[in-house]
Structure 1
Amino acid sequence: MCVTATITDVLAEDESFFKGCAPPTLCPHNGTFNFSTDVFDSHKIIDAECCDTNNCNSETLPVPVQQERNGLQCYFCLFFSGANVCSFFTVHCIGAQDRCFFAHVSTVNGVLPVAGCTSTDVCEIAPDHGVLPFMEEVGNLTSGPTCCGTNRCNEPLQCLSCSGSSCSSPVSVTCSSETMCITASIKDVSSGDESFFRGCAPPTLCPNNGTFNFSTDVFDSHKIIDAECCDTNNCNSETLPVPVQQETNGLECYVCIFFSGSNVCTAFTVQCKGAQDRCFIGSASTDNGVLLVAGCTSTDVCDIAPDHGVLPFMEEVGNLTSGPTCCGTNRCNV
């Protein structure tokens, strides 16, 4: 496609123009678009027109003018000096900004939330385009934008937070880059310890609402972990029962054991228990370098761990550098 655009930078009081080629993510069809967006440090009113014949973008569009408030109010994510956690304030939307939105962007300071006022055209185009149109300075989108059309509907998610042996006094916290709440009960079979966790969770750990079993048995760590994910404010109020020791289920897998002073594993067979319906093999980054890791695990771990980067709630194993590759027959993880 071809595009012609006229841009008013409200904060800088600058005007600029753009004509050029456009990908289908920016120009999904012929016609006019309004990409007006107001976020914490960038406010632009952008009128654009897309077309699909040679040099059809010859027109220079009129400069957008400052627009009046339209009655919609949205939360606005503001970062103070030195902080990577935003404070939320209310902003009045103007002109074509008929949606509130919430998203996450990749910046030099990591993945940060971004929120404010925008237009319907931005909501429809930005998820596929990967950035807020003509606002690349805000950062590349890693999630969203999620848009809505009522006052302050882009409120950030709040989750109850606590961890430890009781988790009896959780406090409500505002999530940053996380999009879900989670509650988990953890039985460490190796040590006999029981613990609980409630807090915000990234979509890599909680890809959807529901219950998960993260039971895993590797050479020096064996945990049974029951978890529940949800996506509404403070929905993780339930304390899940402590998982009980489970019986062998008939599946046998190789487990990788490192003897003192050696970085080469010796394979032994382990009997899987309970929900551990998969054998797996992978590699993890440890203090001794990248080492093989293998054992019994559950389908939920196999589905989640490759994107999550660690075996859920088993950070002591190390960050995954490959896998886990999972299979469902005896000693298939050779």
Structure 2
Amino acid sequence: MNLIFLLSLIWELYSTAAALTCLTCTDQTCSSSIPLTCGSETMCIIATILATQSGISVTQLYKACAASSLCPATGTSTFSVNLGSQSAIASAQCCNTDNCNSQTLPAPSPQPTKSLQCLVCDPTTSQCTTPIICSGDEINCFSAILNNGTNTIPALGCASPNTCTAASGLGSLPFMQSVGSITSGPTCCTTSLCNVPSATTTTTAPTTTTTTPAPTTTTRTTAAATTSTISPTITSTIRAYSSGATQQQIYKGCAASSLCLRTGSQTFSVNLGFQSGVASAECCNTNNCNSQTLTLPGSEYLNGLKCVACDPSPSQCNTPTAYSGDGGNCLPITAQ
């Protein structure tokens, strides 16, 4: 049984019914916003950004669903980044209820300078030897390689620690996505002029992988890390206390070797008590071999094994659950 495969499919079905809705800007000026159902994001964000370029400052608004790297918790925070030629300071608030990002935050004020100095790049020559003085929450120097759609360029400057964390997860500088996507880095360090492009720096912020703040469409492609393709048909039962409804889903995609140890048919099964899933799957290893649609798994029989399951409401894990079909292991899971 591949637990990650089943749990991810069950969660996808479960979260569709209870997905968070956030207000999202309809244009770059955020002159209006509309409710948008989030994907994997569990937070809404609203931010007021003071952006400066070539000495000219403008205030911008931002509303959207937020990735966990941008909003690891509810509450207010300040993001700050300075590339020398342009900078951005954002007052942000994260929340986790439907359309909770309806208010408008006051614009952030320019921050006092600090003693930390970081190198920045000259956008006309791409020489990265100019020091600048950081300000406010910018206690890190950072370096990264950006792709602006035309060229691959270095990007160096000052940044707040949460900007380093968010940039690692988003693949772009938060609230400065217009400068390009990150193709290498970022690396962040805490001593003056430590972000020399040829130097090896260490990150001071944890890296979190998630989605961008704005909704994206993901196209599945064949990746070097995959060894076969899988074409399972799954019926997953989400047993909520109010409905107990059954939903069905077809899944096709590339598969890691841990999911497809061999070619041929197999069954995956997991039961968490309040949610369960069983999948008929077939693995193959030739191009586009997963074009067929499999029949639904049959009703499983009780196999005599009982495991303790958790009640999600009081978060107590003392309910015995009878296992069925291929279920042959009880699984302890510790929430992080």
TM-score, length-scaled by structure 1: 0.52
Deviation at residue 280 of structure 1 after TM alignment: 0.6
Assess, with a 3 A threshold, how the Cα gap between structure 1 residues 143 and 287 changes in structure 2: closer, same or farther: farther
Partner in structure 2 of residue 187 of structure 1: 50
In structure 1, runs of 5+ residues without a counterpart are 1-21, 27-128, 134-140
Deviation at residue 198 of structure 1 after TM alignment: 1.3
Alignment check: 8 A CA contact 1:163 1:195 kept: no
CA distance in 2, matches of 1:304, 1:142: 26
Whether 2:117 is the aligned partner of 1:252: answer yes
CA distance in 2, matches of 1:168, 1:309: 26
CA distance in 1, matches of 2:129, 2:49: 27
CA distance in 1, matches of 2:191, 2:10: 37
* Match 2:6 to one of 117, 120, 132: 132
Deviation at residue 304 of structure 1 after TM alignment: 1.6
Deviation at residue 226 of structure 1 after TM alignment: 1.5
Deviation at residue 306 of structure 1 after TM alignment: 0.9
Deviation at residue 227 of structure 1 after TM alignment: 1.2
CA distance in 2, matches of 1:241, 1:164: 20
Partner in structure 2 of residue 274 of structure 1: 136
* Match 2:184 to one of 284, 307, 322: 322
How many equivalent pairs are there?
194
Assess, with a 3 A threshold, how the Cα gap between structure 1 residues 307 and 142 changes in structure 2: closer, same or farther: farther
Equivalent position amino acid for 1:131 in 2: F
Deviation at residue 234 of structure 1 after TM alignment: 1.2
TM-score, length-scaled by structure 2: 0.52
Assess, with a 3 A threshold, how the Cα gap between structure 1 residues 323 and 196 changes in structure 2: closer, same or farther: same
Assess, with a 3 A threshold, how the Cα gap between structure 1 residues 288 and 171 changes in structure 2: closer, same or farther: closer
Alignment check: 8 A CA contact 1:158 1:173 kept: yes
CA distance in 2, matches of 1:142, 1:322: 31
Deviation at residue 166 of structure 1 after TM alignment: 7.2
Whether 2:68 is the aligned partner of 1:214: answer no
Partner in structure 2 of residue 30 of structure 1: none
Partner in structure 1 of residue 148 of structure 2: 286
CA distance in 2, matches of 1:233, 1:319: 29
Partner in structure 2 of residue 126 of structure 1: none
Partner in structure 2 of residue 242 of structure 1: 107
Deviation at residue 147 of structure 1 after TM alignment: 5.4
Alignment check: 8 A CA contact 1:226 1:240 kept: yes
SS of residue in 1 equivalent to 2:109: coil
SS of residue in 1 equivalent to 2:57: coil
Whether 2:198 is the aligned partner of 1:333: answer no
Whether 2:25 is the aligned partner of 1:158: answer no
Deviation at residue 209 of structure 1 after TM alignment: 2.0
Deviation at residue 196 of structure 1 after TM alignment: 0.8
Partner in structure 2 of residue 51 of structure 1: none
* Match 2:91 to one of 226, 248, 253: 226
Quick one: percent identity of the two aligned structures? 38
Assess, with a 3 A threshold, how the Cα gap between structure 1 residues 227 and 174 changes in structure 2: closer, same or farther: same
| CA RMSD across the alignment | 2.7
Deviation at residue 257 of structure 1 after TM alignment: 1.3
Alignment check: 8 A CA contact 1:163 1:197 kept: no
Alignment check: 8 A CA contact 2:140 2:190 kept: yes
Partner in structure 2 of residue 103 of structure 1: none
Alignment check: 8 A CA contact 1:283 1:292 kept: yes
Partner in structure 2 of residue 312 of structure 1: 174
Alignment check: 8 A CA contact 2:143 2:186 kept: yes
Alignment check: 8 A CA contact 2:163 2:173 kept: yes
Q: Which structure shows the higher strand fraction?
A: 1
In structure 2, runs of 5+ residues without a counterpart are 197-336
Assess, with a 3 A threshold, how the Cα gap between structure 1 residues 300 and 145 changes in structure 2: closer, same or farther: same
| Deviation per residue, 1:32-56 (Å, 9 max, x gap) | xxxxxxxxxxxxxxxxxxxxxxxxx
CA distance in 1, matches of 2:33, 2:18: 21
CA distance in 2, matches of 1:142, 1:282: 35
Equivalent position amino acid for 2:6 in 1: L
Deviation at residue 203 of structure 1 after TM alignment: 2.7
5 Å-filtered alignment, 1:92-131, equals 129-131=3-5
CA distance in 2, matches of 1:252, 1:146: 49
